[in-house]
Amino acid sequence: MNIYAIRAIYQFELERTWRTLMQSIASPVISTSLYFVVFGSAIGSRMIEIDGISYGAFIVPGLIMLALLTESISNAAFGIYMPKFSGTIYEILSAPISYVEIVIGYVGAAATKSIILGLLILATARFFVSFEIAHPLWMIIFLVLTAVTFSLFGFIIGIWADGFEKLQIIPLMIITPLTFLGGSFYSISMLPPLWQKITLFNPVVYLISGFRWSFYDVADVNVAISVGMTLVFLVICLTVVWWVFKTGARLKS
């Protein structure tokens, strides 16, 4: 394992974040804070509790997951797309480092940035609502597992994209709507029976449900299923990345 190569890629990607601090960190935190103000304070104060939890506290896990998913994908996609765009990807591919080390460097940096952002939003939420974390260890596990999984997904998108506009298509047109419809702002038990069944086809439901369980010990679906679905998606992403580097698709052509 070439630790120096991994560290070089990892540090380069993190330093890019510090150079664009307002865009990478401050902007998502401020945007999520506005959700807390509007939904948590203004609207939440007029709503009944959900599963014995105040509405402002109930949406905290969903808002963190919303930011985590979108930022994980965007960070990883942009990180690998820029070397493709500038042509420096060929220098990386010809360097004495393995594909595994390349993936660890880029995906590790993207996941780290997303985890930092998630923890910052968690700390910011304390200024707006009061909440407790029932299972802190499981909260960290869900946070890390989701960040790594969707950073891998973003890495795949960055390899697939052949233009800047394609980098935003899936996060904006697919992931964000699925997150909003996945129980970020409500419990799926509040939906009519038919829509409850339809919603279970949304993979984001399992992520948000498991993450919310780590906070309040309540979940829309079984926690074991939430963990299992996340691991399945992780394996799928790893398989696709392996195939991409094996065939050179979108990398060497």
Amino acid identity of residue 95, one-letter, is: A
Q: How far is CA 155 from CA 112, 132, 137, in A?
A: 14, 34, 27
Q: Which residue has the tokens 């969903």?
A: 62
Q: What is the pLDDT of residues 210-230, one digit of tens each?
A: 999 999 888 888 889 989 988
212 is written with which tokens? 């919310």
CB 13 within 8 A of CB 82: no
pLDDT higher than 90, residue 144: yes
Q: Average pLDDT for residues 229-237, to the nearest whole number?
A: 91
Phi, psi of 52 (to 5 degrees): 80, 10
Residue pair 75/110 in contact (Cβ under 8 Å)? The answer is yes
User: For the segment 17-41, what is each residue's pLDDT rounded down to a tens digit?
Assistant: 777 666 667 777 777 777 777 776 6
51 or 120, higher pLDDT: 120
CA 253 – CA 249 distance, rounded (Å): 7
Cα atoms in the Cβ-side hemisphere of radius 13 Å centred on 221:
24
User: Rounded to the nearest 5°, which phi and psi values hold at 53?
Assistant: -115, 135
Contact in structure between 139 and 215 (CB atoms under 8 Å): yes
pLDDT of the residue at 45: 62
The pLDDT of residue 139? 92
Helix (H, G, I), strand (E, B) or coil at 50: strand
Residue 201 has pLDDT above 90, yes or no: no
Placement of tokens 């394992």 in the chain: 1
